[in-house]
Chains A and B, each alone.
Chain A
């Protein structure tokens, strides 16, 4: 059956245009198709036309939410191709901004998840507390969103002694609110009734469909690149890999919330143990032919960069695989068998970075008729 695909207006939650086609039998979802590519800009091709330094800024702008993961992963991949090692202090600064990014990204997830289940007060509260993290990022890098802190061979900005008290103060505020949200998530009746037993991804499916990051960890798969393939300062930091067993929306939320507590601890440890020393090493950017792969644990899971150099200042090939792309096939078992009312929260439980299906198309499997509803209507749907 062919139909016109109406992707229209976006809704408040920072969404990119994507399209999902659900097949429903009454209220029950029997099948789902996912279409990617509305935000395709042709970045990988552009990577191969610009030099290594320019590409840092391009990699940062693949995603605004996890921009530091992208630029760190890119810089580390180039360092690996060139065979250089950044200084210790640079590694700590990288870990610091990476963990701050994880906290802000998970708080954003919490905010939008609350919005998806119609709990707008929590949405506003989480966005309020997220501003403390944005302030910390601004103190360190000068930018609220794009940090431009990474460079090839180290970092461009230092964390000075004067900045530390303000950072710790904000960290306390964030920790207080995260602990409050953990308690809220476990006890609030609205949240529990919307999240428990919904959108379940079993351990077998998670392994079979190669889910990554918090989605896999919520299904009991202990995978974390920070432990499996340590980078930056993570070998020296002590933290726990959070896993849950249920695989439902609740478990995915709890993994993210508890990860924030670990991240707060890590940031404290980094600020305490950061070694002195230089921030960057000089690099000759005419890199001889070589290739390398680098992985980073982004807030949404494993981010992978592959770089091949050819002796010039311009890389021959850069390949990026983002975590949402890896986790997207897991959406199908999470949706099928569920109800229409669950669509927004189950979709968001993946923390989809492309996410912007303001409208979905429902096809009734009995009559074969298609109709289009908006995300707003879906949120108000009573099953």
Chain B
């Protein structure tokens, strides 16, 4: 394990991208970061810029308008990077699977490292997914 990977594992920074979801997963991600669950104590921080981020957290069923930006944000992130598909929407489309303006699942557009099922998943599940992704990053 290189030095950069070591430190990245100790303090992974997240980038949150809502690709047209309902906000349910987004508030659960926020709950995971705030005092009750508090992943910030492990160095997990939400960042505003893709160039600072290690993990891209995507929510929502990937609408046609957001697809292009999603890919651009993904491409702007430095290697090594990982994508977490948060909630049922990016995994399968959830209730929006047959809407005319959605392009779910997410893995048709960018590679995904972890899926967190649930509508929305609980904060514990989000933390578990982050831990799993970090384990994978070290290898």
Chain A positions near chain B (C-beta within 8 angstroms): 7-17, 37-43, 45-46, 49, 57-58, 61-65, 67, 108, 111, 123-125, 127-128, 130-131, 134, 144-146, 353, 356, 358, 374-376
Question: B27 contacts which chain A residues (CB < 8 A)?
Answer: 14, 64-65, 108, 145
Contacts A41-B61, A145-B120: A127 and B30 contacting too (C-beta < 8 A)?
Answer: yes
Q: Are B22 and A61 neighbours in the complex by a CB distance under 8 Å?
A: yes
**Residue B112 interfacial (CB < 8 Å):** no
* Dominant SS among interface residues on chain B: mixed
Q: Are B30 and A57 neighbours in the complex by a CB distance under 8 Å?
A: no
Q: How far is the CA of A111 from the CA of B35 in the complex (A)?
A: 12
Can you list 15 A-B pairs with a CB-CB distance of less than 8 A? A8-B50, A10-B15, A10-B16, A17-B66, A38-B66, A42-B99, A42-B102, A62-B22, A64-B22, A64-B23, A64-B25, A144-B122, A146-B24, A358-B48, A376-B48
- Shortest Cβ gap from B130 to chain A (Å): 15
Q: Are B16 and A64 neighbours in the complex by a CB distance under 8 Å?
A: no
Within B12-46, the residues touching A (CB, 8 Å) are: 15-31, 33-36, 46
Within B95-115, the residues touching A (CB, 8 Å) are: 95-96, 98-102
Q: How far is the CA of A12 from the CA of B29 in the complex (A)?
A: 9
- Shortest Cβ gap from A244 to chain B (Å): 27
- Shortest Cβ gap from B82 to chain A (Å): 16
Q: Are A41 and B94 neighbours in the complex by a CB distance under 8 Å?
A: no
Question: A131 contacts which chain B residues (CB < 8 A)?
Answer: 31, 35-36
Q: Are A41 and B102 neighbours in the complex by a CB distance under 8 Å?
A: yes
Q: How far is the CA of A125 from the CA of B95 in the complex (A)?
A: 34
- Shortest Cβ gap from A291 to chain B (Å): 24
Question: A7 contacts which chain B residues (CB < 8 A)?
Answer: 69
- Shortest Cβ gap from A14 to chain B (Å): 4
Contacts A10-B17, A41-B63, A144-B122: A63 and B22 contacting too (C-beta < 8 A)?
Answer: yes
Q: Are A38 and B48 neighbours in the complex by a CB distance under 8 Å?
A: no
Annotate B109-138 by CB proximity to A: 1 below 8 A, 0 otherwise: 000000000011010000000000000000
Q: Report the nearest B residue to A13, measured CB to CB.
A: B30
Q: How far is the CA of A192 from the CA of B131 in the complex (A)?
A: 41
Partner of B28, one of A57, A124, A145, A375: A145
Contacts A8-B50, A17-B69, A57-B95: A38 and B20 contacting too (C-beta < 8 A)?
Answer: yes
Q: Are A39 and B99 neighbours in the complex by a CB distance under 8 Å?
A: no
Q: How far is the CA of A9 from the CA of B65 in the complex (A)?
A: 14
Q: Are A46 and B63 neighbours in the complex by a CB distance under 8 Å?
A: no
Question: A16 contacts which chain B residues (CB < 8 A)?
Answer: 18, 20-21, 23
Question: B29 contacts which chain A residues (CB < 8 A)?
Answer: 14
Q: Are B23 and A17 neighbours in the complex by a CB distance under 8 Å?
A: no
Partner of A45, one of B20, B49, B99: B99
Q: Report the nearest B residue to A375, measured CB to CB.
A: B48
Known: A39-B20, A45-B100. 15 other contacts (CB 8 A): A9-B47, A9-B49, A11-B16, A12-B30, A14-B26, A14-B29, A15-B18, A41-B20, A41-B96, A46-B100, A61-B96, A67-B24, A145-B28, A145-B120, A375-B48
Q: Are B30 and A39 neighbours in the complex by a CB distance under 8 Å?
A: no
Q: How far is the CA of A375 from the CA of B49 in the complex (A)?
A: 10
Q: Are A124 and B100 neighbours in the complex by a CB distance under 8 Å?
A: no
- Shortest Cβ gap from B45 to chain A (Å): 9
- Shortest Cβ gap from B64 to chain A (Å): 8
Q: Are A42 and B49 neighbours in the complex by a CB distance under 8 Å?
A: no
- Shortest Cβ gap from A321 to chain B (Å): 17
Q: Are A8 and B73 neighbours in the complex by a CB distance under 8 Å?
A: yes
- Shortest Cβ gap from B42 to chain A (Å): 16
Q: Are B24 and A11 neighbours in the complex by a CB distance under 8 Å?
A: no
Question: A41 contacts which chain B residues (CB < 8 A)?
Answer: 20, 61, 63, 96, 99, 101-102
Q: Are B65 and A40 neighbours in the complex by a CB distance under 8 Å?
A: yes
Q: How far is the CA of A111 from the CA of B99 in the complex (A)?
A: 33
Contacts A40-B63, A41-B101: A58 and B26 contacting too (C-beta < 8 A)?
Answer: no
Q: Are A146 and B119 neighbours in the complex by a CB distance under 8 Å?
A: yes
- Shortest Cβ gap from A137 to chain B (Å): 12
- Shortest Cβ gap from A161 to chain B (Å): 27
The 6 closest A-B pairs by CB, nearest first: A64-B24, A127-B34, A14-B26, A64-B23, A128-B35, A42-B101
Question: A374 contacts which chain B residues (CB < 8 A)?
Answer: 48-49
Q: Report the nearest A residue to B88, measured CB to CB.
A: A61
Q: How far is the CA of A39 from the CA of B30 in the complex (A)?
A: 19
Question: B72 contacts which chain A residues (CB < 8 A)?
Answer: 8
